[in-house]
Amino acid sequence: MKPIGTVAKQRLAAALAVALASSGLYVAVAAQATPAGLLTYISNSRTLHPSVELANLNGSDPRRLGPGTSAALAPDGESVAVVQELAPPDDSTSELLVYPTSGGAGVKLYHCPGFLTVYGWSADSTLILASCPHGLNDSGPLLVIAAGGGSVATIASGVIDGASFAASSSDDVVYALGATQLLTAPVDLYTSSPTGSERRQITHGGISTSPVWGPSYIVFARTTSRGTVKAPINQLWSIAPNGSGARQLTHMAVNALADGLVPLAFSANGEHLLAGFTGTDQSASWAVNLAGKTTVPRRLIDSENAPDAISRDGGTVLLTNGFEGQPTSVESVPWGGGKPTVLAPHGANASWNE
C-alpha cells in the first residue's frame, strides 16, 4: 500500500481539518506490510435480515461482523465499510459504519436519509467514496468520508451515476453527474481533488457514465441511442484524467433487451478489466483484455451472475452466481475461464483484498 501523498494530506488538512494519516483504527501504512487476504460478502441477502460476513480468501472461517446490505473491504485488509438500512420508523434511511477486521464493534460515520451507495476505498485505505441519493429525484451528495471518523467532504451534488477513486495515492476522484434521473438527462464525467476542489469536466455530450479510474486512464460507459423502441447500448471508452485522448474500446452488437457493458474494476497493471453485462433478465461477468492494440471482451461463464471484484494480479475474478430469484453463491473464476470455485454457498455481493 502506498502512503497518502503530501498534496492530498494538505488538501484534507485544510478542508477536513483532520489528520487522516494517523487514525487509531489502522496499522501504519509506512510499514509496507503484506495485507492479509480476506473476503467479505452478504449472507441472507434476499431476506429482511442480511448480514456482513468476513472470511479467509478461500471462504473458510466465516464470522459475522453485523447487519448490512453491502460491504467493501479496505485494500489493507484492516477495515470493512458496511451499509446498514434502518428498520421502521426510519425506513428509507441508512448508515455507514466501519468495522475493524480484527474484531469489535462498528463505528458509525454517516447517516443518509436514503439508501447509501459505497463506491470504494482510496488506495491508502483512509477514505471512503459514497453517495447519498434521496428524495423523489434520487439526487444527493457525493461524499469523501474519512474512515478514521468525523470528517466528510461533499464532492458534488446531483444524480451520481458512478464514481471512483484514482488508482494512485493522490486520492483524486472521477464521477458521473447528472441533474435528474430522466433517461434523456445529460450525464458527464468530472474529476476533482478529494476535497471537491480543482473540479474539471472531462467529457461532453451528456452520455458518459460509470467511470473506473485505472493505473493509466479512466474507463467509462458511453451510452448510444438505438432508436425510440430499443434501449440504449453501452460501449466502453477510455480517456485520460485531463480529458484528452478519448477512445472507443468496444464495438459490441447486442440483442434488443441488452444494455451492454459497464466497467467495474482494473487489475493492478491495468491490462485486465472486469465488467458487467446488463439488460432485461440478463446479467453476466465479462473479462476485457486491454493488453493489446485491440480490446477483447468475452463472457467468463455461461450462467447468470454479477461481477464483484478482480484480483490485483488480474488472474482471478470474484462474482455472485445466481440471478433473479435464484439461490446465490460467491465464487471465484480464473481470468482465462474454467470451472468456478464456490467460496460462500449462500453469499452475495462480495469484496476482497486479493
Q: How far apart are CA 140 and CA 273, in angstroms?
A: 29
Give the residue carrying C-alpha cell 461477468. Answer: 285
Amino acid at 337: G
pLDDT at res. 324: 67
pLDDT at res. 6: 35
Q: Which helix (H) or strand (E) holds 11?
A: helix 6-16
Give the residue carrying C-alpha cell 474500446. Answer: 249
User: Is 110:143 a contact under the CB 8 Å cutoff?
Assistant: yes
Which residues of the chain fall short of a pLDDT of 50? 1-34, 228-230
pLDDT at res. 223: 86
Classify residue 1 by burial, with Cβ atoms within 10 Å: 0-12, 13-18, 19+: buried
With a CB cutoff of 8 Å and minimum separation 6, the contacts of 261 are 221, 234, 235, 236, 250, 252, 275, 276, 277, 286, 288, 297
CA–CA–CA angle 104, 106, 109 (5° rounding)? 150
Distances (CA, A) of 20 to 75, 127, 149, 189, 315: 16, 8, 9, 27, 32
- Give the full edge-to-edge strand order of the sheet including 187-192: 117-121, 127-131, 140-146, 152-165, 173-178, 187-192, 200-201
User: Is 66:107 a contact under the CB 8 Å cutoff?
Assistant: no
pLDDT at res. 17: 32
Q: Grid coordinates in use for 324?
A: 433473479
Q: Grid coordinates in use for 178?
A: 447528472
**Residue environment code for 31-42, b if the CB has 16+ CB neighbours within 10 A, otherwise e:** eeeebeebbbbb
pLDDT at res. 335: 96
Q: How far apart are CA 207 and CA 71, in angstroms?
A: 29
pLDDT at res. 18: 31
Distances (CA, A) of 155 to 129, 170, 194, 198, 354: 10, 15, 7, 10, 29
Half-sphere exposure of 154 (CA within 13 A, CB side): 7
Query: pLDDT per residue over 220-249, tens digit each?
Result: 999 876 554 445 689 999 999 999 999 999
pLDDT at res. 258: 78
**In 228-269, at which residue ranges do the beta strands (DSSP E only) sit?**
233-239, 247-248, 258-266
Length of the chain in terms of residues written: 354
Nearest of 309, 16, 8, 52 to residue 143 by alpha carbon: 16
For residue 269, is it left (φ>0), alpha (ψ between -120 and 50) or beta?
alpha
Amino acid at 64: R
Q: How far apart are CA 212 and CA 238, in angstroms?
A: 10
Q: How far apart are CA 82 and CA 232, in angstroms?
A: 33
Query: pLDDT per residue over 261-309, tens digit each?
Result: 999 999 999 999 999 998 877 899 999 999 988 898 999 999 899 999 9
Give the residue carrying C-alpha cell 478482480. Answer: 310
With a CB cutoff of 8 Å and minimum separation 6, the contacts of 212 are 162, 164, 218, 219, 220, 263, 264, 265, 266, 273
pLDDT at res. 231: 59
**Radius of gyration of the chain from Cα atoms?**
19
Q: How far apart are CA 275 and CA 298, in angstroms?
A: 10
User: Is 270:259 a contact under the CB 8 Å cutoff?
Assistant: no
pLDDT at res. 10: 35
